[in-house]
Amino acid sequence: MLFRQLFDRDTSTYTYLLADEVSRAAVLIDSVREQLERDLALLEDLDLTLTYVLETHVHADHVTSAALLRERTGARTVVSHAGGAPCADLQVRNGDVIRFGAHALEVRATPGHTSGCVTYVTENRCMAFTGDALLIRGCGRTDFQEGDAHTLFQSVRGRIFTLPDECAIYPGHDYAGRTVSTVGEEKRLNPRLGAHRSEAEFVEIMENLGLAPPQRLDEALPANRNCGATTTP
């Protein structure tokens, strides 16, 4: 399987490109509107056909290019049924499968950061794209957008930490230059969600973060509920 990890410096957002090397069918996870031309150029360079644009959740810190990619390539957009984005072509649920060529991604519902967070897992369980549910040595906040610390704890422990220890974790963001972790590493080393933490301890940590709202919240949420389109369909 062809794989590329792409980065938007302004929002510290990772975008992931996966493709079948025979059929050239591709999927893009967590696109960024300002990187539309970069992503289209890469698809052309690699002779790929974009079939799906996947969101791990409805983002509050950047605007997706999903609607623009759908318009330019004919790809179908994918969001959780609980994400609050009726614009998407597919509203996925836990256990659904997204197929591209000979490859597939399993949808695992991992709410808690938002009610519509999902993690995409490769069929061989070697790679997991966790969005903001599980970051490298951290996790997404739980203080807005239907977030809930109890739910996030249960999601990570029940649907991410049950993957093999060697499964690679690819997060939606990283603010320290890290690119990948593993399930085993995060079980041991994650200061919020590691195996040494109880649910009560995790909830207390999350209730006392004292974070400011995301800078682009007022712009990003309405736009992303419309798949990044600037006008109502």
Check if the beta carbon of residue 95 is closer than 8 Å to that of residue 80: no
Out of 37-41, 117-121, 229-233, least confident range = 229-233
Angle at 104 between CA 101 and CA 108, to 5 degrees: 160
* pTM score, whole prediction: 0.96
Condensed to tens digits (0 to 9), the pLDDT of residues 142-200 reads 998 899 999 999 999 999 999 999 999 999 999 999 999 999 999 999 999 999 999 99
* 70, 153, 191 from 61: Cα distances, Å: 21, 22, 23
Residue 232 has pLDDT above 90, yes or no: no
Round to whole Å and give the CA distance between 139 and 18: 24
> Is 231 a residue whose pLDDT tops 90?
no
Read off φ and ψ for residue 204, nearest 5 degrees: -65, -40
| CA–CA gap between residue 4 and residue 19 (Å, rounded) | 9
Q: What is the pLDDT of residue 217?
A: 87
CATH class of 2-210: alpha beta
* pLDDT for res 215: 83
pLDDT tops 80 at residue 99:
yes
